[in-house]
Amino acid sequence: MDIVTDPSTAIPPRRGSAVTIGAYDGVHLGHRALLAELRARGDEDGLTVVVVTFDRHPATVVRPESAPLQLCDLDQKLELLASAGVDRTVVVPFTEERANETAEDFVATVLVDALAARLVVVGEDFHFGHGRKGNVALLAELGSTAGFAVEGVTLSTDAGPFGAPGGAPISSTRIRALVGAGQVEEASTLLGRPHQVRGPVVHGDHRGGPELGYPTANVDVPAGICLPAPGIYAGWYERPDGTQWMTAISVGRRPTFYGADGALLVEAYLLDFDGALYGEEAKVSFVAHLRDELAFDSVDALIEQMGRDVDATRRLLGDRS
């Protein structure tokens, strides 16, 4: 997949492009259904399939006080878009200047000049340009002059693509709510994969190995990424070399030691692993919620429960591997 980080430097596809525009946070099954349709349309007409997305969620600039947590960072989003069969992704830097750009200017500089768009497919509630004044109707009006067709599609549902009856719309907002409630299995059915967080392994308070007998990798997840609700989860830890390990994951504040005042941490205990992880970039995927976070009366009681959590992780992931 070709990645363009500055639309002004893009070379327009010779035969034009089939384009979709959006945050594409999580690249969930609804996104993938739209991309599959765009791929089919692009192949039919010999067009380059392009996603126009942003280097941060636009809300972080225009309304930072209510900007949503993200299901993935930019690197993961680009990986997911590539796996969905996209030919090119244009990453538009979303700045104050971009936020104040008119819908007409966005169409001219990005869709026409950079991409030679021939078809633009977006969600029916798509808005763009300064003050979100641009919508599907305006985009179609501008396209009629600039030479591209526009289609506004309904959201896919969990009963099927593009508004099939019997299901609720698949959206990043809905998935964030599920993850935030700890319902990672339900979230995975809409994402098409387990929810994953990434970050470097950093030093913690070193209780896990010496005191508890379960050395954990303390994963420093960047601020702004959506974490599951505090609790214990079964999942997978992927190392930079691609190897994966069954993992019991704690998201929480370690209330047995720090009460409610502890820092919120993501700690991963890799089953059957013996080695150093400090400094490496970890990928931690949440497969199932095992239990809520608890404060124990003693360290021994905590250790006993951790043993049960590890056993449950092994059983659950062994059944699914």
* Residue 28 pLDDT: 96
- Residue whose pair of structure tokens reads 């299995």 in the numeric block: 185
* Residue 93 pLDDT: 86
* Residue 319 pLDDT: 66
* Residue 188 pLDDT: 96
Inter-residue contact 82 to 1 (CB < 8 Å):
yes
| Euclidean distance between CA atoms 172 and 123, whole angstroms | 13
DSSP 79-115: HHHHHTT-SEEEEE---HHHHT--HHHHIIIIIIIIT
* Residue 262 pLDDT: 72
Q: Where in the chain is the domain with CATH 3.40.50.620?
A: 2-170
Tell me which residues of the chain have a pLDDT lower than 50.
Answer: none
Q: pLDDT digit string (tens) for 44-88?
A: 999 999 999 998 887 887 788 888 999 999 999 999 999 999 999
List the 149-153 sheet strands across, edge first.
2-4, 88-92, 48-54, 17-21, 117-123, 149-153
| Euclidean distance between CA atoms 103 and 167, whole angstroms | 33
CATH 2.40.30.30 corresponds to the domain 194-320: yes
* Residue 175 pLDDT: 96
Tell me the residue type at 23: A
Q: Where in the chain is the domain with CATH 2.40.30.30?
A: 194-320
* Residue 317 pLDDT: 95
Phi and psi dihedrals of 107, rounded to 5? -60, -45
What contacts 125, CB < 8 A, 6 or more positions away? none
Q: Residue 281 corresponds to which tokens in the numbers above? A: 């970039």
* Residue 95 pLDDT: 79
Q: What is the CATH architecture of 2-170?
A: 3-Layer(aba) Sandwich (3.40)
